[in-house]
């Protein structure tokens, strides 16, 4: 565990001096992510929004409250898992990250995953799904078709399961999607076996 902690410290230090894309200059805080550094589950969102940028933590706005509800209804807490995003700095006006920004930032996420070595990676929403599917060579389809479907994959540290999910923000104005998310989380937690 101590080795993991020092590896995490190293990549945090690397992030603090990162200037690989223009978003770094505008960020109040670079949002590394938080949780258990040997967690079997890593949830990946898109990018920090206004609240995350201000607080330096992932998912602390309204989507975060929905995420907390999904976790607690499944006996999970933020401390038991790891939550992060595909990029570390807030895009202006909360726009989608550009391909160039994702490319510039991706090593921070890959370094993190190589340290945590999770059993399940759950990309939430299209941006995270696109990135992760590309990375592991899975064929991407409409989120409506693939959400809640476990898929076997490989990263440099070994075999794992990719479990695509809707983004919690998608459920803000659509309560039906919240029920879908809840069902998918239940399925994922069963596979996790915690
Ligand atoms: N949406 C995301 O994708 N990530 C956050 O951290 C917050 C909102």
pLDDT one-digit tens code per residue, 71-107: 999 999 999 999 999 999 999 999 999 999 999 999 9
Give the domain extent around 112: 2-192
Q: Whose CA is nearest to atom 8 of ligand 1?
A: 59
- Across residues 35-59, what is the average pLDDT? 98
State in Å: Cα 85 to ligand 1 middle.
7
Quick one: CA torsion of 117, 120, 126, 131, rounded to 10 degrees? 30
Helix (H) or strand (E) holding 45: strand 41-45
Q: Is the pTM of this model over 0.85?
A: yes
Residue identified by tokens 């101590």 is: 2
Average pLDDT, the chain: 97
| Bridge partners (DSSP) listed for residue 71 | none
pLDDT of residue 191: 97
Contact (Cβ atoms closer than 8 angstroms) between residue 122 and residue 41: yes
Please name the residue whose Cα sits nearest to atom 7 of ligand 1.
59
Does the CB atom of residue 63 touch ligand 1 within 6 A?
Answer: yes
Q: Alpha helices of the chain — where are they, by DSSP H?
A: 2-16, 23-26, 50-55, 62-72, 99-116, 126-136, 143-146, 175-192
Give me the pLDDT at residue 126, please. Answer: 97
At 111 the pLDDT is 98
**Cβ neighbours of residue 72 closer than 8 Å, sequence gap 6 or more:** none
What pLDDT, on a 0 to 100 scale, did the predictor assign at position 147? Answer: 98
**Which atom of ligand 1 is the closest one to the Cα of 52?**
6
Could you tell me the maximum CA-CA distance found in the chain, to the nearest angstrom?
A: 43
Provide the pLDDT for residue 77: 97
Output the domain CATH number for residue 138.
3.40.470.10
* Residue 191, burial from CB neighbour count under 10 angstroms (0-12, 13-18, 19+): middle
* Residue from 32, 48, 94 whose mutation best tests the ligand 1 pocket (most atoms within 8 A of CB): 48
Nearest to 46 by CA among 63, 29, 34: 63
Residue 123 CA to ligand 1 centre (angstroms): 11
Alpha carbons 135 and 137: distance in angstroms, whole number: 6
Residues in the chain: 194
Binding site membership of 53 for ligand 1 (Cβ less than 6 Å): no
Confidence at 61, pLDDT banded by 50, 70, 90: very high
Q: What is the pLDDT of residue 194?
A: 76
Q: Is the CB of 87 under 6 A from ligand 1?
A: no
Look at the chain and report how many structural domains it folds into. 1
Nearest-atom number in ligand 1 for the CA of 63 is 8
């Amino acid at each position: 565990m101590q080795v993991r902690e020092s590896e995490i410290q190293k990549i945090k230090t690397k992030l603090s001096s990162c200037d690989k894309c223009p978003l770094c200059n505008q960020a109040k805080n670079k949002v590394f992510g938080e949780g258990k550094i040997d967690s079997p589950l890593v949830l990946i969102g898109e990018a920090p929004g206004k609240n995350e940028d201000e607080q330096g933590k992932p998912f602390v706005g309204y989507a975060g409250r929905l995420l907390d509800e999904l976790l607690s209804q499944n006996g999970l807490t933020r401390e038991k898992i790891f939550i992060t995003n595909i990029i570390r700095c807030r895009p202006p006006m909360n726009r989608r990250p550009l391909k160039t920004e994702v490319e510039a930032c991706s090593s921070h996420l890959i370094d993190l995953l190589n340290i945590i070595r999770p059993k399940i990676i759950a990309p939430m929403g299209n941006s995270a799904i696109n990135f992760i599917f590309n990375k592991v060579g899975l064929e991407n389809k409409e989120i409506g078709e693939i959400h809640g479907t476990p898929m076997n994959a490989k990263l440099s540290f070994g075999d794992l399961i990719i479990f695509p999910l809707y983004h919690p923000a998608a459920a803000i104005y659509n309560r039906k999607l919240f029920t879908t998310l809840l069902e998918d989380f239940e399925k994922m937690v069963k596979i996790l076996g915690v």
